Structure 1
Amino acid sequence: MPSTGHELPLLLLRDAPAVLACLVRDAFGVELGKGLAESSAAFHELEPAAYVADLVLVGPDVVVVVEVQRARDERKRATWPLYLASAHARHGRASWLVVVALDRAVSAWARAPIATFQGGALTPLVIGPDEIPRVRDAEVARAAPELAVLSAMAHGRNGPEVVEIGAAGLIAAAEVGRRDEDRGKLYFDAVLDALADLARAALEASMKVEGHEYRSEFARRYVAEGREEGRADGLRTAVRVLCDALGIAWTDGRERAIAALDAHALEALCARIQRERRWPD
């Protein structure tokens, strides 16, 4: 599985370059346009040494160099102007540097202007947690699954909405899994890895991608341990969260119904709700 801190954001943006264009437009008012497609990310100097950016996207009128930054690295930061100048020289069009930094402190560091040429400076466009929306709605997650997964990665560690954000991310992974099973599983695990422990325990114990087995170590451990009654409280929480994510009204009668179920029956209920997207008759 790719590193959730570095390769996963790049994979999401490769799959859906339009997500990057929307984030940049909403955060900075910069229109990157439609039709972005991946291009070679290697930039060569006159000597044999090569510098390789994380991702380069080329559109009809723009070229976008994308860097994912997990930690402060002044040597890496010094290469960003080279990437941008090389991209401009190669493609001959407006060029932008976008840095994705899911850590708030790293995103603040990346925003500082970089002194460059002729007394000028390069100011990266930084997509940090504040620029990534908190996707909680199931329909939004299905319509923009890559954005929902990125939202879970950016916001799944803290805050009052982490369970709802996690549920939306898992719904997004299920949506992708209908088209590409391996990619859906990868996104599913990425969301689980991103969540805080309590949110992950509630969601991972119940939500399955229409019969796909979990791949994460936590889930394998849970399955191996069995479905003892001690997990029932977490599963009941997961039923409530899943219904909320899918827009299924919660009633006192449904609360009484889950109170009477054991862990095995609660897990089956969660799987059926996920599959049918309604409360079973």
Structure 2
Amino acid sequence: MVGSSHEALHRIFQKDPALLTRAIQDVLGVPFPEPREFAGMNVDLTEIEPIERRVDTLMRADTDEGTYLIVVESQGKKDEDKRGSWPYYLSYLYAKYRCEPVLIVITQSVATARWAAEPIHLGVREFPSLTVRPLVLSPDNVPLIVDAGEAERDVPLAVLSAMTHGRGPQAGAILESLATALRTIDADSAAAFVQFVDSCLGDTQAQQMWRDLMTAMQYFWRHPLAEQVRQEGREEGIEQERASMVLRILQWRGIDVSESVRDRVTSCTDLDRLEVWAQRAVHASSAKDLFGDDV
């Protein structure tokens, strides 16, 4: 179970290493060669001295142009101590494996992104002996995917979009398009992506919207975090919580709800029917679309 946005932001690349290539090539515009194979590596870079040095994610990419070691660092805020470790990471990896290291920093903060992208110069100011130029993925350059069709064409990239932009003003549109796109991939991958996104949504309302959408689509309930939500539902009353979920989805989608519709939903005690209404709410054009042919 993913427990924090820090973990989710780099673990998505462990789940889908090919996303790394697309992020480097398409988002960052770096002509990175197409890997034949990816392999995860030990993230512990500690030597004999008692100073722990551990990267977030380390992947080996074998290409026709040679082997690259891709270091992914998730950064929530400015941290000069962490920044000071980056040259060590790259130098150590090159010295040990004689492969070209590539540093990618991913963050949800524009300010942190600008800080992380600044070159690190070590040595004489005009003639540095070592220069490190991190590649940074952030809301500044990760595409904002709010169209369901675009999300379906590249679901992992749509997940990355939701993870980096999920705290912004278009969170609702992003999450709705991603929810639709998740229907097009296998359930296990979808369930993993659901948790990555859930861990990165710092806004309480956006997170609740995401959980409502996923509950309606049943992906969310495949993971341990769902037990917490189910327990909350039991404490409040499962029928009441499910009815509230239906109305929240309509509200977040900007659909007007009349008093008669609200009364019908809140008075319903049939969990199966409420579940159907929740699924319809995700795509409904009007509140009356909830009921379909229901009498």
Shorter chain as denominator, the TM-score bin is 0.7 to 0.9
For the pair 1:97 / 2:99, whether they are aligned, the reply is no
User: Judging changes above 3 Å, is the alpha-carbon distance between structure 1 residues 257 and 146 closer, same or farther for their aligned structure 2 residues?
Assistant: farther
Measure how far apart 1:241 and its partner are: 7.0
Distance across 2 between alignment mates of 1:151 and 1:223: 33
What is the SS of the residue equivalent to 1:116? Answer: strand
State the partner residue of 1:268: 276
For the pair 1:28 / 2:36, whether they are aligned, the reply is no
What is the SS of the residue equivalent to 1:132? Answer: coil
Paired residue type of 1:271:
Q
Which of 26, 51, 54 is the aligned partner of 1:52? Answer: 54
User: Judging changes above 3 Å, is the alpha-carbon distance between structure 1 residues 75 and 239 closer, same or farther for their aligned structure 2 residues?
Assistant: same
Distance across 2 between alignment mates of 1:130 and 1:174: 28
Percent identical: 25
Measure how far apart 1:110 and its partner are: 1.0
Paired residue type of 2:171:
V
User: Judging changes above 3 Å, is the alpha-carbon distance between structure 1 residues 15 and 143 closer, same or farther for their aligned structure 2 residues?
Assistant: farther
Which of 232, 235, 244 is the aligned partner of 1:221? Answer: 232
Measure how far apart 1:49 and its partner are: 5.2
State the partner residue of 1:247: none
What is the SS of the residue equivalent to 2:140? Answer: helix
Distance across 2 between alignment mates of 1:190 and 1:157: 14
Distance across 2 between alignment mates of 1:71 and 1:127: 14
Paired residue type of 2:42:
S
When the two chains are superposed, the root-mean-square deviation of aligned CA atoms in Å is: 3.9
Measure how far apart 1:27 and its partner are: 3.5
Structure 2 residues not aligned, in runs of 5+: 284-288
User: Judging changes above 3 Å, is the alpha-carbon distance between structure 1 residues 113 and 235 closer, same or farther for their aligned structure 2 residues?
Assistant: same
State the partner residue of 2:211: 204
Matched-pair contact (CA < 8 Å) for 1:205–1:219? no
User: Judging changes above 3 Å, is the alpha-carbon distance between structure 1 residues 96 and 210 closer, same or farther for their aligned structure 2 residues?
Assistant: same
Matched-pair contact (CA < 8 Å) for 2:246–2:277? no
Which of 108, 112, 119 is the aligned partner of 1:113? Answer: 119
Structure 1 residues not aligned, in runs of 5+: 245-249
Under a length normalisation based on structure 1, what TM-score does the superposition of the two structures give? 0.74
Distance across 2 between alignment mates of 1:112 and 1:189: 31
Distance across 1 between alignment mates of 2:276 and 2:262: 14
Which of 128, 146, 154 is the aligned partner of 1:136? Answer: 146
For the pair 1:164 / 2:173, whether they are aligned, the reply is yes
Distance across 2 between alignment mates of 1:241 and 1:71: 30
User: Judging changes above 3 Å, is the alpha-carbon distance between structure 1 residues 199 and 267 closer, same or farther for their aligned structure 2 residues?
Assistant: farther
1:178-193 to structure 2, matched below 5 A, reads 178-179=187-188, 184=191, 186-193=192-199
Under a length normalisation based on structure 2, what TM-score does the superposition of the two structures give? 0.71
User: Judging changes above 3 Å, is the alpha-carbon distance between structure 1 residues 268 and 123 closer, same or farther for their aligned structure 2 residues?
Assistant: same
- Cα shift readout 1:214-237 (whole Å, capped 9, x = no counterpart): 6174564245423339955x6246
Measure how far apart 1:202 and its partner are: 4.3
Measure how far apart 1:112 and its partner are: 1.6
What is the SS of the residue equivalent to 2:26? Answer: helix
Measure how far apart 1:178 and its partner are: 1.3
Distance across 1 between alignment mates of 2:180 and 2:13: 18
Measure how far apart 1:98 and its partner are: 0.8
Q: How many residues align?
A: 266
Measure how far apart 1:258 and its partner are: 6.0
Measure how far apart 1:259 and its partner are: 6.7
- Cα shift readout 1:193-232 (whole Å, capped 9, x = no counterpart): 5163334444534542437636174564245423339955
